[in-house]
Each structure stands twice: as C-alpha cells, then as structure tokens.
C-alpha cells in the first residue's frame, strides 16, 4: 500500500487507457478546478484542499476504507510537525492492518443466515446458480441447465429452495438474483465446505482448461521476511478482482481459488 498519494496517482495514470491521456482534465472538472492545479500538485508545489481530495476519492470510486486511507495520506503530506506526521502514520498503519482482512476488502450486500449458508455450501451447485442468476434481466431454467450442465429436475429443486429462502425470485419465466454478492467470513463453520466444493470443482475442470483460463500450483522455498510481502500482493489481487467482478456483467461464471500457506513451520509457530 502507498504512503505517497502522488505516487499512487502517477501509477494510476500509467495503468489507465492511453496512459491516462485526458484524465487530468476529467479530474480537474470533477473537483471544479483546472489542469494547472493538477500539474502543480504532481510537481509537489501545491496540495489538494480537503474538499478537493474528498471529491477525488469519489472520482476514483474508492470505498469507505479506501477514502479514509486516501484522506490520511493527504493529511500526512500536509502535516507540519513530526508529532502530527507520526499521528497520521499511526492511523495509516491501523488501516493497513485492517485492510489485510479479506472481509474488509470485499463488499457484501447482506449477511447470510445459518440456514442460507448451509444451503449454499451443500455442494457447488447452489452457489453457482445463485451467482449466475445475477445476470441483468435474470436467466431461464433452460439457460441454467445448459450453461452449468445440470439436469433440469435437480436444478429446479435447488432454484425452488433458493426462492423459498429469499435469495432468488421469479419474474415471469426468468429467475433473478436479488443480491449481487455474498461473502462467508473467515472463521465461519461453513467456510471449509465452501472451500472444498470449489477446489473439487477445479480438479474436475483441470483437464479441460481453455486458453483464457488458468490453473496454477507452486511450491517454493522463501525467506520468512518475504512471506508477508507475498501475502500483501495476493491481497491486493483479491481487492482488484473484487472491484472488477462487482462492475462486470454476469454473463459467464468464473471461479477463483487462492491458497497460500506454510508447508513447513518452526517449532513455536
């Protein structure tokens, strides 16, 4: 995670289409200013006002935690004393630690009840049907059966159950997902079953992987100092993945499984 908001903005521009061409003008318009101010900020001769920084957080579509972090970076840059800088650095570090918890990086639309969790993790099929029905306009029962390669009778039973508990609803011939995404938090008694379902599904699919798909396993020896570094990079990938799939139309169903753990441990670990 960045400690310099200017560096983050420069990197964001580089990753933007056409190298960020035209983005400065859009930023300036969004904060009711001009490109001259943006150029001065990038050069380090000016700082954004608090109001301008908050408007930029909206421009970048930051969530609440990201906005808080962004505003703290601005305050850190503007702080005039060491004590004040240390004050903001401590708050930034708290957010860095908080952001390592996946449940704070992944937005959830609602919390599942125990009955709903048990239903969704009974196999891979209920979760797959639930997510696939988030397609704009919903899907028909025939679409579900064809796309997920499921028998009609079994699919109808699962759909009826999901409708009964309120996770799906029917609109004419279409089946509609009432919620975009759900997250089962770490520590839930249902999480191991959820993991198992999709790792078994990955094994089932591993012999039929297309050019735009990936199955990867790596066993490596690393320094203990690099273990948290690698975890942070993986967490950033999860955050980026979450943002993309949230905005992406649910036209196809994909699965991402990530495991990262120590195989060998010290005696006191």
Task: List, for residues 130-179, the tens digit of each pLDDT value.
Answer: 889 888 778 888 889 999 999 988 998 898 888 877 788 887 678 888 65
Q: Is pLDDT above 70 for 199?
A: yes
Average pLDDT, the chain: 85
pTM: 0.57
Q: What is the pLDDT of residue 181?
A: 58
Closest CA to 183 of 130, 259, 247: 130
Give the integer Cα–Cα distance in Å for 34 and 37.
Answer: 6
Q: What is the pLDDT of residue 167?
A: 82
Q: Is pLDDT above 60 for 239?
A: yes
Tens-digit pLDDT profile for residues 10-47: 887 887 767 778 888 888 999 999 989 998 998 889 99
H or E segment and range at residue 162: helix 152-164
Q: What is the pLDDT of residue 65?
A: 76
Cα dihedral 177, 181, 184, 190 sign:
positive
Closest CA to 178 of 117, 134, 113: 134
pLDDT tier at 106, thresholds 50, 70, 90: very low
Across the range 114-143, mean pLDDT stands at: 87
Give the integer Cα–Cα distance in Å for 128 and 255.
Answer: 9
Q: Does domain 5-99 match CATH 1.25.40?
A: no
Q: What is the pLDDT of residue 251?
A: 84
CATH 1.10.260 residue spans of the chain: 5-99
Across the range 72-76, mean pLDDT stands at: 92
Q: Which residue has the higher pLDDT, 91 or 172?
A: 91
Most confident among 94-98, 108-112, 139-143 (mean pLDDT): 139-143
Phi, psi of 120 (to 5 degrees): -70, -25
């Amino acid at each position: 995670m960045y400690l310099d908001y200017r560096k983050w903005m420069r990197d964001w521009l580089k990753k933007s289409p056409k190298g960020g061409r035209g983005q400065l003008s859009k930023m300036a318009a969004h904060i009711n200013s001009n490109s001259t101010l943006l150029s001065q900020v990038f050069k380090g001769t000016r700082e954004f006002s608090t109001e301008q920084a908050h408007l930029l957080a909206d421009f970048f579509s930051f969530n609440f935690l990201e906005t808080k972090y962004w505003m703290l970076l601005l305050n850190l840059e503007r702080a005039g004393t060491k004590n004040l800088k240390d004050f903001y650095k401590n708050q930034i570090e708290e957010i860095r630690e908080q952001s390592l918890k996946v449940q704070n990086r992944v937005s959830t639309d609602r919390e599942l009840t125990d009955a709903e969790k048990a239903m969704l993790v009974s196999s891979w099929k209920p979760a797959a049907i639930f997510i696939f029905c988030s397609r704009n306009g919903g899907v028909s029962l025939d679409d579900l059966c064809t796309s997920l390669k499921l028998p009609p009778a079994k699919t109808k039973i699962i759909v009826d159950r999901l409708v009964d508990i309120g996770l799906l609803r029917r609109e004419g011939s279409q089946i509609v997902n009432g919620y975009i995404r759900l997250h089962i938090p770490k520590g839930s008694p249902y999480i191991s079953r959820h993991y198992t379902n999709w790792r078994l599904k990955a094994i089932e699919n591993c012999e039929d992987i297309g050019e735009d798909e990936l199955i990867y396993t790596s066993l490596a020896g690393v320094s203990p100092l690099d273990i948290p570094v690698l975890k942070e990079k993986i967490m950033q990938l999860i955050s980026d993945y979450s943002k993309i799939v949230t905005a992406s139309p649910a036209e196809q169903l994909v699965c991402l499984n990530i495991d990262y753990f120590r195989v060998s441990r010290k005696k006191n670990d």
